[in-house]
Amino acid sequence: MHQGYSPKVYTGGTVVAMSIGLTLLGLLETGPRHGYDLKRAYDEHFGQDRPLHYGQVYSTLSRLLRDGLVEVDGVEAGEGPERKRYAITASGVTDVRDWLVTPERPEPYLHSTLYTKVVLALMSGRSAAEVLDVQRGAHLETMRTLTRRKLTGDLADQLICDHALFHLEADLRWLELTAARLDQLSAEVRR
């Protein structure tokens, strides 16, 4: 199943790769930290499903260092990058602020796999309703799992699950609407 329509997409980590750097910058804004501390803080707040690897942390930090967004604040005795303390620079702070106030692009998913599947099913005379029903079942099952997890989890868990649930619900609405319009759609496809 394509990533775009797997229910997993909403639960698999709350921070996508490209914003890890900015997230680390944000964490550094509260004060200088060692790389190890940074990873711990990240995992505690954002890494519920996918903790960061050390390698990921250090490669990101070196990129930030290169771009002048962080600087080395101090080095403790010994070897290796884990001895360095990092602090955020003025341009780093600017970047974080810009990032926070820039809206995320609302993803329209216009050409989703599922839409393609439905149209193909209609064109080939297969049951498009079944395609939708199966997807619907899968969505609802995921929602059940999330709901169960929400009921036992703490507040952070609840909020993350709710985020995923609302998105899945939106998908389900689309599924229902499409199901209700299949006749119309099939007429257009066959034209």
Partner 1 sequence: MSGPLLEAMDLYKSFGPTPALDGAGMSLWPGEVVAVMGPSGSGKSTLLHCLAGILRPDSGTVSYNGTELSALSDVARSELRRTEFGFVFQFGQLVPELTSLENVALPLRLGGMRRREAEQAATEWLERLEVADVAGKRPGETSGGQGQRVAVARALVTRPKVVFADEPTGALDSLNGERVMRLLVAAAKDTTAAVVLVTHEARVAAYSDREVVVRDGKSTQVELIP
Least separation, in Å, of the C-beta of 171 and partner 1? 9
> Nearer to partner 1 by C-beta: 70 or 165?
165
Strand order in 84-88's β-sheet? 33-34, 84-88, 70-75
The 3-state DSSP class for residue 165 equals helix
Nearest residue to 167 (alpha-carbon basis) of 47, 15, 6: 6
Give the C-alpha separation, 168 to 102, whole Å.
24
Give the C-alpha separation, 14 to 2, whole Å.
19
**Using CB under 8 A, which residues numbered 100 to 139 contact partner 1?**
133, 137, 139
DSSP 8-state symbol, 8: G
> Nearer to partner 1 by C-beta: 72 or 151?
151
Give me the 140-179 binding string for partner 1, x by CB under 8 A, dash otherwise: x--xx-xx---x-------------xx-xx--xx--x---
> Nearer to partner 1 by C-beta: 58 or 109?
109
Residues within the interface to partner 1 (CB under 8 A):
133, 137, 139-140, 143-144, 146-147, 151, 165-166, 168-169, 172-173, 176, 180
